[in-house]
Each structure stands twice: as structure tokens, then as C-alpha cells.
Structure 1
Amino acid sequence: MNKNQIQIINDINNEGEPKRSLFSMLWPENTSHLSMELWLEKTRLGLFHLFVEGKNRYDQSHADLLSLLHEPFAIAISNILQHQEILRLKDMLADDNNYLRNQMMEITGDTVIGAEFGLRGVMEMVQQVALLNSPVLLLGETGVGKEVIANAIHYSSKRKNNSFIRVNCGAIPENLIDSELFGHEKGAFTGAISSKRGRFERANNGTIFLDEVGELPPAAQVRLLRVLQQHEIERVGGTETIPVNVRIISATHQNLEAMVKSGTFREDLFYRLNVFPITIPPLRHRVDDIPALISHFLEHKSRELGIDNLPIISKETMEEIQSYYWPGNVRELENFVERTLIQGGIENKIDPLPFNKTVAPENYIGTPSLRPATGRMLSMDEAVTAHILKALSQTGGRIEGGKGAARLLKINPSTLRGRMRKLGIPCGKNGLATRIMNFNKRHS
């Protein structure tokens, strides 16, 4: 440090203006002063000042002693300023997270479309498990809305104010999956120029959503099993174990039980993930939700595309939409609405679906029926759905009583209602009447 940076003032009356006026405002005239500028890496941090009563009390020896304190004082002030900046950035990050969380809730909505009809059984299971920490496995075809249900579980849980981290296991290259999930230490591999936290560390005290969990390679399956069993991780290239408190929600459209039998998915991991499985029905099993979904997508996509007047859908067009197979489920429906708006939605009408341009399974007949094998083979859920709808059609929608469907099917009414919720058949009068009417219309 340059000694010229320490100034000795033994009589403030000998100083010129405006320093003399400033000193006289702050200190009595009968004082001596030592003033030292604090610098660190060419950055001026401030001024350190000492004063004592009496004139001519300081000399160069005092300045030399004070100069020894320059570096520790400068470092201390620099650390304080950096700490204040970290606190400021932390507050900004928390504010940004709250803002993004609120924005996401505004976009996705705080309710799940179909919760009262086709997804009623699913939402009942969500409410059962949301407040717990048990792992949840979401099953269903691609595009049925597994991420929406994962959102609902997280934001209904005690962890809703903490992180919700999404991971698409099928989108991360196999050689990077360990690093992405569990982090890595500096020098762990070529290109690891610094340490990095993984998704599990970022999700600590929150929830992690592992979409397409069936795509995890064997090595990552072993690490994931350790997280589930011991609640700790180890970064790639590291030796220290890091405890994590994470709620795991996983999802897949694959048959994990078949993968276990074929040896491509660990049996012990499957049982750990499959603590509370929730099967989300495909869109063709919850056709009563389609009008509400279309209304939601129309409003959302019209806002995105700058279309002021929402298109009108005729009853005939809506029936045609509801009778379609929808192999891509809700995602395909969303894309269809956007495509239709781009092609002609500004004319305030929606033209009939160009179904002939989309290949459905051969001889698909809409809602499952009990017709013999003239078309594709029905799944067990489809056959049971059709059987229940046929019984309800014969009883006019009545479930219990001497002329109810439960008696006709020779099962308990509560069991029938539970089966209906699982299959996405609405139990409410209005929704059930519409479903039966559509069933009869397609199979008359």
C-alpha cells in the first residue's frame, strides 16, 4: 500500500475549503486525524478514519502502524459487501421463483380439467397421497397429462412452496444422465471444469418428477434406488455422501412389469417406485371432458395467437370430435385446436375434423363396444367400460336399487361406482347421461 493514501491532519484549521467546513461540522476544532483510503484490486471500497482530542497528536509512525491494517480491513469490507450482494441476489431469486410459480399456475390453472368427470377417480387418489411423502408412479399412454397430475400432487402437498424439478429421463444422453441427476465434482470427466449440483440437490425439500422413468440406464437405476433407500446421493467423481429430502414422482407409458421380466428394469427399483400407482385414462375413455378441454385450449391458444373472438363449435362438430380415437390423447387435441385456429379460426368457426388424414386403428368404432372381433381386439378396460355402459343404458343411468345396473351386473353399488371412477365413467347425472347418450348413438 502507498503511504500517501494515509493522510495526517493535526489541525483542521490548516485545511482548505470545503474540507475544513466539513470537518468542523463533524468534529471539534481541537482534534487530530488519520485518514486511510481502502482499496482492493484497484477498487476503492471506502475511507477509514481515526481522530483523537488535541492538535498535533499524530506523526508518521502512527501512519505506518495504520498502514499494516489496510489489507485486512479492505478484505473484511469486501467480504461484507459481497455478503450483502449475495443476500440481495438470494432475495431476488426467491422473488423470481415465486413469480414463476404464480405464472405457471396461471398458465396451467389451479384446477385439473376433468376432475369432476373423467379424472374424478384419479383426483381422489391424488388427494389421498398428496400430503404424504410416498413415491407415486403415474401410468398412462403418451399425452394423457401425467405432468399435470404430477403438478397437482406437488401443489397439494406440504412441499408446495419448495422446488418442483422436472426431468425427462428419455431426453438426456445416457453418458450425461448421472451427472444431470446427481451432479459432478470438478475434474470428474473431460469438460467438468467446476463442480455442479444435480437435479436431486436442486429438488431438496421439494419434489422431483421423473418422466419416462423406464428410459433410465442400468447405472442410473442403481443410483436412484440408493436415493429411495438411503435418502442420499453421491456426485459423479465425488466420495462425499449428500443427504437429500426429496419426494419422487415418476411416470411412464411403458409396461414396467414386462421390462422387469425382460431384465431391462430393476425389480427392486420397480417396487420402490410403485408404492402408489395412479393410472390416468386415455382421452377416448373420458370423452365427456373433451368440451371443457377444447374450451380451455381455445382460450389459451387464441390469446397466444392474438385472436380476439373465440371460434364457435357446432354440436355436430363436437360430436365428431368426441367420436374420434385420439391416439395422441390430450396433447393431440391441443395441437388440433392450435392448428385449426391457425388455418381458419379467425373466421369465428371451426370446420369439421379432417379425420381421414389421421390414421386410427383399423375398424375403430369410437367408444368401446361389445361387438365381436370384427375390428381390433379391445383391451380389458375397454371391454369392461363398454359392458358397464351397456348395463347403465338398459337401466336409464340408475346405478343401485332393484332396477339398477349394479343388480344387473350382480355387484355391490359401491364397487360399481369405484370401477366407474377408475375407468373414467362419470357418476354424476349430467355427465353420465351424456356418456350413455353418446354410447347409444355410436352403437345403435
Structure 2
Amino acid sequence: MATISRWTLAFFGCALVALMLALVLLAFGYGYPNTSVGAPETLIVVHLITIGWLSVLMLGALLQFLPVLVGRELALPRLAPMMLAAIVSGLLLLLSGFGGLAGWPGQLSDLMPWGGALIVAGFLLGAIILFTTLLRSQSLPLPAGFVAVALMSALIAVMLGDTLASVLAGMIGGDFSVALVTHGLPLHAAFGLGGWLSLAAMGVSYRLVSMFIVAPERTGVLPRTTFGGALVALALLCAALGVLIAQNAPWPTGLGLAALAAVAAVVAYLGDIVALYRGRRRPKLELHMAAAIGAFAMLGLSVAALIWSVAAANQLGVVAAVYLLALGWLSGLGLAMLYKIVAFLTWLECFAPLMGRTPTPRVQDLVREDRALPGFVIYFSATVLGAGAVVFDADKLLQVAAALQLGAVVLLVHQFYRARQLADLPDPWRAHPRPRVLTPATRPRSFS
């Protein structure tokens, strides 16, 4: 059974706008490296990417694909637009607060905690929808387990972020505020990029990769090692956060052990993905699955860069590793999957009801791979260029890389739009009524 989530495409649309805004700012030299990593200008770009793009994208994808993982319909779907509205409005307030810190006229830094609270509320609504869906399932397959742990990490990340926003707004002071700003930012990033976004991406990708390349779902030592390593890493991060709250001091030993567990999980995951590709029954890869290989490579490269940078005490290397993680691994995988998902949802809405009554096109007929291929090539090449620019502190080169990434994303968004408009369908089906761009039919439909 496949059920259309009415709001998934709206989530995707908002997410892509946030990504393009962030890349525009980077292309014009706004934020790092022209300001420090922790400067308000940089925080604007970072939160556009992590919340506006990656988190909204992931939540929208989970609304559609978590029911596929557990074999149950989505619970409480009417809360989805409220979740999207809370997160988007909260992000706007948060960015306005950062703008106040940066000296923008008419912007108030006092808005940051309120923006953070709205974001927390949005994530809580998302957790209610998704956890209720999980609890209704008779069993919890491993990919769904990844999602469950990722959601718990997301809640920790956004609540920690709201606390940090309160500190920056001057609502929380004392030694705790100093310790939180000094040592809490790495934990906030680890729970967000590592625990929430990466684990959710791993869980969803396990199911989608096996489905799209027609490969048996993975079982055995490697997936269990991936999940176990992730659990250990998150448990140690939680302990480190507890130490920070109790003693206003970091726990370096715990953070080091968490990093080792996370590296073990990533190595096992990448090995498992390689086994999935090798065991596929579909010999020729479609473009989105070929592009996903680039994202998996970016994950391995980012972890290798992070290990080297920490060992060499190279701060620029650490920033480059985070850049590869956010814009290479997570964003690259998101764009690759969107290329297929948008076409799949469009086909599901327009042609699934006609199956058995009249000839219907394939999902692949809704897209033109030759037109989208340059977008993926440019995007991943520019991402590597941008990471190199960060390492060598070449700010102009980073702007060029961001401009290339922006151009690639615009090209891909145009292909998503064409798929929704049925513009690339062969003649027998091109006259079919076009669906709405960001929302499917008024009533969600299930097809079996």
C-alpha cells in the first residue's frame, strides 16, 4: 500500500527555498569565512541549512516513508501543517534574532528564545505524529529503529538550541551560560547533524536504497553494528551533556569514546551500503541511485577529514568536515532522493488510480536523466571545491563553489517542477491533467 502524504511536497518546497537562500548568502560572502564560525551571520546560514533545509526535508520525507517502514498509515496527519508552520515561523524569529545580534536595523535579539520555543513545539508535534505511527506498528524493523532514535536526538538538539538562544539573548547568565556557549555548541551540532539528521538519513536510506535498486534488505552484523555504535555514541553524548549541566565542564573522555563509536557506526554503515549495491537485482542504476553514491562518498570523506583534523588540531579542517557532512552527505543524499520521490509521488497521484484500466507510464517516464545529470555532477564537484576552499582559507573560492552549488540546485529544482507538471511525459500521457505543484489532491488517497 502507498498512501500520499498531503503535506510532504509543501515540506519539500519550503526546504528547497531555505537551501537556496543559504547558498545565495554563501555566494555573496555572508557569514563564514568573512566572519567567525560563531558569529551571528554564520549562524543565520547554518540554521537555514540545518533547520530550514535539512530538518524540514527530513520531516517531510518521514511523513511519507515512515508508514512504508512500519506498514501502518500515518497517525494524526492533520498535525502536519501545524508542525510545518511552527518550525518555519520559529526559524524566521530565530534568524531575526541573529540579525539583531549582527546589528540589523529593526531586529531584536530577544526574539531568539521565542523562535527556538516555536521550533521545539514544531519538533514535538512531529515527534507525536511519528512516534504514534511507530507505536501502532506490530514490529519495529531496524530502519524504523534508526528513525526512533533520531527523533529522540532531534528533541535534545532543539531543546539545547533553545537554551543556547536564551543565553545569547541574555536571559540566562552566570557560569552555566559561559560553559554552555563554550562547550555546548559541539554537543548541539553532534545531536543535530549526527544524531538527528544522519541517523534518520541512514534509516530511510536503508529502506529506499534496497527498494530502488531491488536488493534484499540487509541483516546481520553490519546493520547491527551501525545501530549499536550509534546508540553508544548518543548515550555518551547524553552523559557528556549531563556532566556539562551538573559541573559546568566538558567530559573529554566521554566525547572521545562517542567519536570512536560514531566512526565505527559510519564504517559499518558504508560497508553495508556497498553490500546493498553489490547485491542489487537491477543492473543499471537510475540517476538518483548513482547520485546517492556521491553522497555516501561525501560521508566517508567527511569522517576521514574530521579524524585527521582533530588529530592535527586543525580548526579549518574541522569546519571543512562539517561542510562536507551537511552539504555533501546530507544535502547530496536529499537532492538525489528528491529526484525520485517527487516523480514517484506525482505518478502515485496521477496514474496509480488508472492501473488495470488503461496503459500508464512508468515513474521513470516523468523525468529526463540527461537533463538532471549535469546538476548532480556540478553540485558534488562544487561541494568538494568548497571544502578545499575552507581548508586553504580561500574565501573567494568558497563563494565560487557556493554559486556553483546554487546553480546546480536551481537546475535540479527546475527538473522537480517539470516532473510535477508532467512536462517530460511521452505524447500518449502528456495531456493528463497536471497536479498541484506543492500539494496533491484535496483528499489523500490510498492505492493497493
TM-score, normalised with respect to structure 1: 0.22
Structure with bigger RCO (C-alpha 8 Å, 6+ apart): 2
**Larger helix fraction of residues:** 2
Relative to its length, the structure with more strand (as a share) is 1
TM-score, scaled to structure 2: 0.22
Larger radius of gyration: 1
